[in-house]
Structure 1
Amino acid sequence: MTKTAKVIVVGAGPVGSVAAYRLAEMGVDVILLEAYPNCPEDLRASTLHPPTLEMLNEFGIVDDLIDMGLKAPVYQYRNRQSGETFAFDLTELQDMTDYPYRLQCEQFKLARLLTGKLQDHPHGEVLFSRRVLSVEQDGSGVTLKVESTREIETYRADFVIACDGAGSTVRKWLNVGFEGFTYPEKFVTFSTERPLEDYFDDLALVNYVADPDEWMVLLRVPSVWRVLVPAHDGNDEFIVSDQKKQEVFKHLINDPDVVTEHRTIYNVHQRVADSYFTDRVILAGDSAHLNNPLGGFGMNSGIHDVFNLTDGLRDVLTTGKGDHIAPLQKYERQRQGVMRAFVQAQTIKNKKALESRDADGQKRHQEELTAILADDERRRDYLLGQAMYKSRQLEASID
């Protein structure tokens, strides 16, 4: 027996769950497939920027997310060697948004909230423990072979949206190139309940710490502080070992005996898919693009992808009329264009600024931050860029 829907979304992370729920709210019958038995408790992405919160407000869930997260109106750049701190305050943008802050809310909370709502939606269905094995399409639709815990199932849809992550099975079936590079070092995150704010003056909830010996990011989420550092040496076992943990916290707060709740290691990439769609199969989120986490742009960009995509396909999906190629070409132009021109460039720049071992380079970065903070116009422009408003403006400018 073949299960059918107007759209099948593959991957119930934050991007896939947003895509599926928005389609259901449009009145489009949608099935959301997830390979895991539930939405995994993935801690990597935790920042929701103001434009993303404005989008999610359409679902009436922002208050729920605020209850599950922390408002972070201020983020800081810190220099370990000089002791200087540069604080940027998003409340300066309160004239243009109801959400003048970053919301620190782990990605799995958004995914679980929306998959729960989708399971009760008349136009939605969520199926866990469903791993896509193959993708075939013809002139009228797409057929998926999917492995469940009991059998191989067949699914058929007019369109498939692949939100199945960096190692996307769907992208590989499409044979779409994924150009870019992988950083030689891995990133490791140590999560601890130790109150790091007790060790630093005026520590913000989001902090980017430049240090030629070992740069780091300090992020607060409701339950823990997350300490992200690069790992240049050793195998994976060493990178998450007690010895490595002791080195990190000895360097950070002069206490190697900090207890950690989670230790997560991952490869970091800067990649963009050559094409965002092949006829009726569309890529979004990490299946279409990857970037380092310095700036919190990855998950937000994926959510921006699927809002753009579902806007473009709305008429085709709800009326059954019109050509789907033109709106998908525009989706690709806009979202791939933003990813290449803004997100990739900005995240690469952010990383270089933190890791610079050149004294002159560090000094130039500090002088630049000082000048930005002292100039009202430049400071607002910088805030708009880091809050992703400028990426939204760039998207709108691409026809």
Structure 2
Amino acid sequence: MEGMLKIPFFRLGQWQHPLYGKIEGTKQMFSQMIENFKNNVLGRPPFVRIGHDKANNTTFGSVAALGWVKDIVEEDGVLYGLADPTTPEAQEYIRTGRYKFASAEYDPDYTDKETGKKMGPTLLAISLTNEPFLTRLPEARVLSDQPDAFFMDFKEEGNTVTVPNNQQPQPNEEVSFWRKLAMMAMNGFRLSDQPEPVATAAQTQPAAQPNGGEGGASAPQQTTDVAAQLEEERRKREELENQLKEVQNAQQQAQKQALSDRRDALVKAKEQELIAKGIPPAMIEPIKQFVLSQPVEMATGTIKLSDDKEVSFIDNAFAPLDALPESARVPLGQAGTQHSPTPQQRHEDMVKLCDEDVQAIGGRIENGKYIL
């Protein structure tokens, strides 16, 4: 073990990264990362490098290894990479304090290049840096860990955020948008029941493979997928809300129509009752129109009188007609319908009256002629 580098690169906790969103170190994540290392899921050992090599290099996979990770261990909630140095400079950098801390480069859900199977969090490299994003990590010691999708340090320059590998810098507003999008995906619209330590936002950062191989899922593709899923969820929710509104509107219309039909039936029944009592239709009509002009809820409801008695709105509206004296009412025998007689009926009535008058003065009628 003498001369081996012992580099702490992750610990239990939570952080909010301006580019990747929520970063979380959990026991489950550490166990899976250690297991993937022991099973050689990456197909090569992770290596130790200086920084994240953010420059737009013209070549790929040309970063030298300062050491190769031989083991990953957890001690008191901290993940350490134990690495064999390839040069004395690697040990000197740490001994002299030129580089005190480290930053993990890992894929939160690494895809096996041979099987295409998702393998979970996998360490790709450890970068020596004095600007680690994760806080409160122990210092590296001589008794340390490469690249892919997740760069744990962050530096803001002017109005842009420096992005690793060959990606184009993103404006702060765009970074803020994707950050909010990632938080929505994790907290509001979680698409699975499984924990998402780095979740959708972390998976948007592609891998930087030192051997020239293809990296993990590309950032644009991943973020596009997340945005599309969120948009689809929003569209489905909007459709359901519209359907619910249509059902509610239909129910309200049906209830309103039922109340309207009930009001009309009650008014008609009251009208017929009053006519049978001899109330002139001309006196009923104004009150009838008043009742029909009121909201159906009111017309079909009840009101409380001063003596605390309750009476229906319709009965109360027509109550003055019930008190109409008998002298003002129409006798039942005269309560027929009113209409103008036809010319034939007027002729017959005139003949009948003439016949009665002739007979009254002692005359007689022979062959349609009057004889006095």
TM-score class, shorter-chain normalisation, is: under 0.3
The structure with the largest alpha-carbon Rg is: 2
Higher share in strand: 1
* TM-score normalised by structure 2 residue count: 0.26
User: RCO greater where, 1 or 2, for CA within 8 Å and sep 6 or more?
Assistant: 1
* TM-score normalised by structure 1 residue count: 0.25
